[in-house]
A = this chain, B = another copy of it.
Amino acid sequence: MKIGIIGGGAIGLLCASYLSEHHDITLFTRRKQQAEEIRALGIERMVRGETIQSAVGADTGVKGIFDLLIVTVKYHHLQDVLGELSGLPHQRILFLQNGMAHLVDLKNWKTAHQLYIGVVEHGAMKVSDRAVNHTGIGVIKWGAFLHEEKGPMSSELSTGDFQMVYTDEWKKVLEEKLLVNVCINPLTALLHVNNGELVSNPAYEHMMTCAFEEAVSILGLPEKDRLWAHVKSICHQTAANQSSMLQDIVKGRQTERKAIIGYLLKKAQGQGMTPPFLTFLNRSLEVLEKKQTKSFE
């Protein structure tokens, strides 16, 4: 198949590297330099101690017709990408954003494209503009958004450590990932602690229950006990890891605050709820984000 991948971050590089084994790939990046480098030297993927080289096409500015387009940019760049996609001929587009805020934007997007939503359960770290470390082997669960047409077969898109799993339950998967994210990311970023500390320090675990209770109630999720056990087990499994939001704060990058906590706050507002702890976390993160770029006001 002819597959276009939009975004040269960790997930974009990961998808391009694996999918290039069986498909004709074009990776679209924002910066010209990254596209040129990838076109000239290919992508390097580190996984299970090995380094695998792959040759892929690369360009800036999304153009052309593909059997599948995969959008891997962060939520805060999504609006720009939707603008570009609006000008393209009708095609199938898979969105792999974190959080759930993009569902709202996609719902409001007047487009003839056929949209799919995916949830990435891989761990990946961008090492350089053309190298990615596949740190956690998971799957991508995906499904059709607001239509019935299944699109390409998951089997065509899967290869070795990169499996795609089609599911009509993608929204539940997304919600559970959002729940985990909202429990772990903001707190670790604010407290500058590894994921494990949220369950080893009773005070922090108590804070996490506050976020959990509010999020579960906003999302209207059943099976609270199972979900809480799930969140805690993720903390234990990833005890030594720095959450992506903590990494963003430390590195002075924009965080996925709006995609994760912002989405929940908007949803709560729509239901006439005012979740105090999430409101507080959101504001504290906003302050911390601003502190990064200027030390004095």
Contact = CB atoms under 8 A, between A and B. Distances in A.
Interface of A: 190-193, 201-204, 206-207, 250-252, 274-277, 279-280, 283-284, 287-288, 290-293, 295-297
Given A191-B287, A287-B191, A203 B280 contact: yes
B250 A191 contact: no
A202 to B, nearest CB: 6
A229 to B, nearest CB: 20
Residue of A251, A275, A280, A296 with highest tally of chain B CB at under 10 A: A280
A252 to B, nearest CB: 6
Nearest to A280: B207
A191 B251 CA distance: 21
Given A291-B288, A293-B295, A296-B251, A280 B191 contact: yes
Contacts of A204: 276, 279-280, 283
Contacts of A252: 295-296
Given A191-B284, A287-B288, A203 B274 contact: yes
Contacts of A190: 283-284, 287
Nearest to A201: B279
A292 to B, nearest CB: 6
A250 B287 contact: no
A113 to B, nearest CB: 38
A277 B281 CA distance: 12
Contacts of A275: 203
A147 to B, nearest CB: 38
B251 A283 contact: no
Contacts of A251: 296
A250 B201 CA distance: 29
